Amino acid sequence: MSQIISTVMQQAQEAFEHYRQVSGKNRAIFLETIAEEIEGLKDSLVAIAHQETNLPLPRLLGEIGRTTGQLRMFARLIAEGSWVEACIDTANPDRVPPKPDTRKMLVPIGPVAIFGASNFPFAFSTAGGDTASALAAGVSVVIKAHPAHPETSALMFSAMEKAIARCQMHPFTIQHLNDASNETGKALVMHPLTTAVGFTGSQAGGKALKAYADQREVPIPVFAEMSSINPVVLFPESLNQTNTTLAKTLAGSISLGMGQFCTKPGLLLAIDSPALSTFSETLEHELTQVALHPMLHTGIAKAFDKARYTITSQAGVASEASLAVVEDLEKPTPSLAKVSAKDFIENPLLHEEAFGPFALLVICQDVQELSQALKALGGQLTTTLMATEQDVENYPEILSLQCSLAGRVILNAAPTGVEVAASMVHGGAYPSTFDARYTSVGTSAIKRWVRPICLQGFKDWMLPEELKDGNPLKIWRLVNDTFTNETI
Amino acid sequence: MSQIISTVMQQAQEAFEHYRQVSGKNRAIFLETIAEEIEGLKDSLVAIAHQETNLPLPRLLGEIGRTTGQLRMFARLIAEGSWVEACIDTANPDRVPPKPDTRKMLVPIGPVAIFGASNFPFAFSTAGGDTASALAAGVSVVIKAHPAHPETSALMFSAMEKAIARCQMHPFTIQHLNDASNETGKALVMHPLTTAVGFTGSQAGGKALKAYADQREVPIPVFAEMSSINPVVLFPESLNQTNTTLAKTLAGSISLGMGQFCTKPGLLLAIDSPALSTFSETLEHELTQVALHPMLHTGIAKAFDKARYTITSQAGVASEASLAVVEDLEKPTPSLAKVSAKDFIENPLLHEEAFGPFALLVICQDVQELSQALKALGGQLTTTLMATEQDVENYPEILSLQCSLAGRVILNAAPTGVEVAASMVHGGAYPSTFDARYTSVGTSAIKRWVRPICLQGFKDWMLPEELKDGNPLKIWRLVNDTFTNETI
């Protein structure tokens, strides 16, 4: 295996030497062409992904749109060009000592390895956000197909191969490994020419890749979007005023796509009250009304069953649904369990993710207990606050705590549904990722694959377009500490 | 020890909860006040640092200016405010599904630990660039004093304590540990409340801190600026045209501050020619003319002697100066050694840094050999090209290679002298640092201590100033994908 990977990475390096010199405008055309080719294969992609993942056809069709939308978003970003953070300080020969001319911009880091997710066979897999952002940045990409949808991945790669040919890119700009073995993953992460890793999946998977990376002589970043229980705080006035709506919204969010979203609200926290009892009854009822689909694959169904059982079998946890009937393992009934804040805070097993249609309601005696429960948690992708304006005014410390906890803080909406936009953060402190400074969704995801370089004393003709006096790309730059898109 | 560190880090966390809520404008005043207090103690600081580091008084006086200059640069940056990369995508309720309002900005990451450098007792130590950028970012700082200048560090901390009192900051916003033990460093890096580490020093020191960090349950970034041999390529026409000037420039750069700069040019690469012979003779002569000063401390002098001996005793390495006379260990004579590219490429021991006044000249047969020698190197802080415009046109592949190698590429100037500016990159691939994506000099150094957060669906009154519709700070923001400093 390591011989194959060695060849693959040599090829990736060779392609990188070419691809990093392709202009932003031409890389943009390449990304748009990939999007076109994906659209050309849309029906086949949806059909094969439906077979491999059990995901419903409309959802898969929507995900194709998200995937091509992401590619086009990055195409716009790099065609415009300001994302490179060009920064120029011009010379001042009269200063003592003379001030040199220094100019900085972001450049691609080197070949990267991408590991796709099982729960988004298009948008977070082969040609998904990691690949799109990496290609936008100007790095060559080696994709390891997810073993749960190998045919989908191969077909998606064929779309990218067509785009490579049409745009006359180096043939190894994107490579695809359809090999389910852990050895392939290990060899990819450990190869000296690999400069970064992108991964979306389980905590166990992410930790394994990180452990390989930690064995390297030369450290590299591993961007792993792993696990999150996405705590939702339900504030008193909000429970009083929007009780039924709230229960319906959360039932939908907990069970959406059979709960197989990294932003699924897996934890609800509220202060005990009659309104909370009404709410939880309604929520439990709503969860039983959900139309069931099979989960992505047997492995995920078993893992969910086990994780949910671990939670519901802990001391102090009450759950009607989970153990009541022998249910279809592949189509588990969405369910809710309840626990006191005291029991929750003391038991770290209750802070773990159960990836599927399940949530744990933590009942707190007062706001202090709620605050302690939040403090007991690790880093999260999201946290939500269901609150009236009066609630927010009454409990400012809770919102502040939530801002410490997660990459995204949501007011009065379900955390599922991650907007693909410049202002999105899909990331957070460990264990949701290894590095809270990055996002894997939105235009800033490109920042994972670049490094800054400073060019000092260069003649104008030697400089890349982004840094020339004439600003031929008309991008926004910081020139002598002032933002401008003018020439110098 | 770990009990003391536990208390210190609890205090740092407590201070962080306050300090992160201090506005940019007030943090700016705090940084300016620190600069003022340092200026008030200038004479005492210079005197005590001279005793502890052997550095000449004028150099130390200059370094005070650099230190206060950095503090004021960060003060200007945060008083202006655009550095937070505010980014707003407004809601669109008519879209299907409705598009939410999402707003992103950078926020401080948490308490950080700073380890100062011995070679810059002011500018890269106690109140140096790491501390200044961290305080600018809004994080609380725990400083471990460098054991080679404990009194200087304590006096510098007293200036910061005065500023804390004057600005009514939380008393533990900055804490100072004057304890030379490795256990203190280990406990600091491993404490759960520590969120990042800044370090400037040896490769051994940096690797030790990284190894502690790797043992943590929750990973944190270790920014270590460690070692670099700063290869300088001398191109043929340049050697022909500016031979003597070039030799004088490089002799000055190699021996500046007794070679105790991380950007000291430790490696010269050139194609064999009569002009090269003349150049190396002149350079060797110039190196003998340098006024000698004692090195920073006995440990550094011994380490330099050992590292230089390791290089000069390798097969194929010719050196007149190094073994000729029994010299003063504390005041080593600057020297040059020579080796063929073939021997250089094959021997990794020749790629290591000797931190002191020494350089190795690699004599290449042709440009291919020069290219191979560059490819044999690890990541560097800087690389320099001494070349005419014709040279650059003749050998474009060398410049391209150099851009792959280092964080800063310099044309026709000495690499020593790191401009403190927005466009500076003082960083590079391993082993010069652990992470080529960051710089420890210039305004971007602040990016090491922050993470992005996305606030979704917030009411205007709940948003931080940076993200409010009215843009009260008048900062530059990306609003619906357009740069603007206007209101919404």
Question: pLDDT per residue over A231-250, tens digit each?
Answer: 999 999 999 998 899 999 99
Mean pLDDT of B315-333: 73
CA distance B405 to B414: 17
Averaged pLDDT, B329-347: 93
Set of chain A residues whose Cβ sits within 8 Å of the Cβ of B421: 89, 102
Question: Is 90 exceeded by the pLDDT of residue B237?
Answer: yes
How far is it, in rounded angstroms, from Cα A109 to Cα B403?
Answer: 11
Judge: B76–A478 Cβ closer than 8 Å, yes or no: no
Q: What value does the mean pLDDT take over residues B254-262?
A: 94
**Contact residues on chain A for B411, CB-CB shorter than 8 A:** 455-459, 462
Q: What is the pLDDT of residues A57-109, one digit of tens each?
A: 999 999 999 999 999 999 999 999 999 999 999 999 999 889 999 999 999 99
**H-type helices in B297-416, by residue range?**
298-312, 341-346, 367-375, 389-394, 396-405
Q: Which residue of A has its CA nearest to B441?
A: A454
Q: Establish if A290 touches chain B: CB-CB under 8 angstroms.
A: no
Number of domains in chain A: 2
Q: How far is A130 from chain B (nearest CA, A)?
A: 18
The confidence score (pLDDT) of residue B179 equals 85
Residue B93 has pLDDT above 60, yes or no: yes
Q: Are B59 and B44 members of one domain?
A: yes
CB proximity under 8 Å: A 422-441 to B:
422-425, 427, 429-431, 434-437, 439
Boundaries of domain holding A18: 2-226+436-467
Residue B91 touches partner A, C-beta closer than 8 Å: no
Model confidence over A7-59: pLDDT tens digits? 999 999 999 999 999 999 999 999 999 999 999 999 999 999 999 999 999 99
pLDDT tens digit string along B431-464?
999 999 999 999 999 999 999 999 999 999 999 9
Q: Are residues B155 and B275 in the same domain?
A: no
Residues B423, A389: C-beta atoms closer than 8 Å = no
Mean pLDDT (chain A, rounded): 95
Whether residues B209 and B317 share a domain: the answer is: no
For position B260, what pLDDT does the model report? 94
For the segment B124-149, what is each residue's pLDDT rounded down to a tens digit? 999 999 999 999 999 999 999 999 99
Alpha carbon A219 to chain centroid distance? 22
Distance between CA atoms of residues B116 and A464, nearest Å: 36
pLDDT band at B196 (very low <50, low <70, confident <90, very high): very high
Judgement on whether residues A388 and A323 belong to the same structural domain of the protein: yes
Does the model's ipTM exceed the 0.90 cut?
yes
Residues of chain B in contact with residue A97, where contact means CB-CB under 8 angstroms, are 417
DSSP 8-state secondary structure symbol assigned to residue B92? B
Phi, psi of A261 (to 5 degrees): -125, 140
| pLDDT at B327 (0 to 100) | 67
pLDDT at B324 over 50: no
Residue A324 pLDDT: 44
| Residue A431 belongs to some domain of the structure | no
* Together in a domain, B176 and B55: yes
pLDDT at position B150, please?
Answer: 96
What pLDDT, on a 0 to 100 scale, did the predictor assign at position B330?
A: 78
State residue B321's pLDDT score.
58
Assess whether B407 and B444 both reside in one domain.
Answer: no
Q: Has residue A371 been placed in a domain? A: yes
Is the model's pLDDT at A431 over the cut of 70?
A: yes
The residues, ordered by sequence, that sit 6+ positions from B377 with a Cβ below 8 Å of its Cβ are: B229, B231, B267, B351, B405
Contact B104 A422 (CB under 8 A): yes
Q: Does the pLDDT of residue A322 top 60, yes or no?
A: no
Residue at A484 is within a domain? no
- As a whole-number percent, the residues of chain A with pLDDT over 70 amount to 98
Name the more confident of A299 and B10.
B10
| Chain-chain contact of A102 with B424 (C-beta, under 8 angstroms) | yes
In this complex, the residue of B87, B102, B412 whose CB is nearest that of residue A419 is: B102
* B307 and B188 inside one domain: no
Record: contact B454-A109, CB cut-off 8 A: no
Question: Does the pLDDT at position A363 exceed 90?
Answer: yes
Place A420 in a pLDDT band, splitting at 50, 70 and 90: very high
C-alpha A245/C-alpha A477 separation (Å) is 47
Question: ∠ at Cα A131 (A125, A134), nearest 5°?
Answer: 155
Q: Would you put residue A269 in left (φ > 0), alpha (ψ -120 to 50) or beta?
A: beta
Q: Any CB–CB contact under 8 A between B474 and chain A?
A: no
> Could you list the active site residues of B?
225, 262
**Is residue A85 domain-shared with residue A216, that is, in the same domain?**
yes
Residue position matching structure tokens 């991408």? A114
Q: CATH number of the domain that B210 lies in? A: 3.40.605.10
Look up residue A52 and give its two tokens: 């491999």
| Residue B1 binned pLDDT confidence (cut-offs 50, 70, 90) | low
User: Shortest Cα distance from A136 to chain B (angstroms)?
Assistant: 17
Q: List B residues 100-119 in contact with A (Cβ-Cβ < 8 A).
A: 100, 102-104, 107, 109
Q: Residue B255: its pLDDT value, please?
A: 95
Phi, psi dihedrals of residue A437, rounded to the nearest 5°: -85, 0
A309 and A363 assigned to the same domain: yes
Question: Mean of the pLDDT values across residues B366-374?
Answer: 97
For residue B222, give the H/E element and its range: strand B222-225
Residue A453 lies in a domain: yes
- CB-based contact, B126 to chain A, within 8 Å: no
B329, pLDDT greater than 90: no
For residue B240, the domain's CATH number is 3.40.309.10
> Residue A467: its pLDDT value, please?
98
**Torsion, Cα of A241, A243, A246, A247 (10° steps):** 180
**In Å, how far is B322's CA from the nearest CA of chain A?**
32
Residues B197 and B259 in one domain: no
Over residues A162-206, the pLDDT tens digits come to 999 999 999 999 999 998 788 999 999 999 999 999 999 999 999
In this complex, is the C-beta atom of B43 within 8 Å of any C-beta atom belonging to chain A?
no
Name the closest residue on chain A to residue B406, using Cα atoms.
A453
Mean pLDDT of the B8-33 span: 98
- Of the residues A262, A353, A364, A466, only one is catalytic, namely A262
Residue B482 is assigned to a structural domain of this protein: no
Residue A430 lies in a domain: no
Q: Which residue of A has its CA nearest to B481?
A: A422
Has residue B323 got a pLDDT over 60? no
Domain shared by B185 and B329, yes or no: no
Distance between CA A461 and CA B12 in Å, rounded?
50
- A426 in any annotated domain: no
Q: With respect to residue B241, please indicate whether it lies within any of the assigned structural domains.
A: yes
pLDDT given at position A319: 86
Domain shared by B351 and B208, yes or no? no
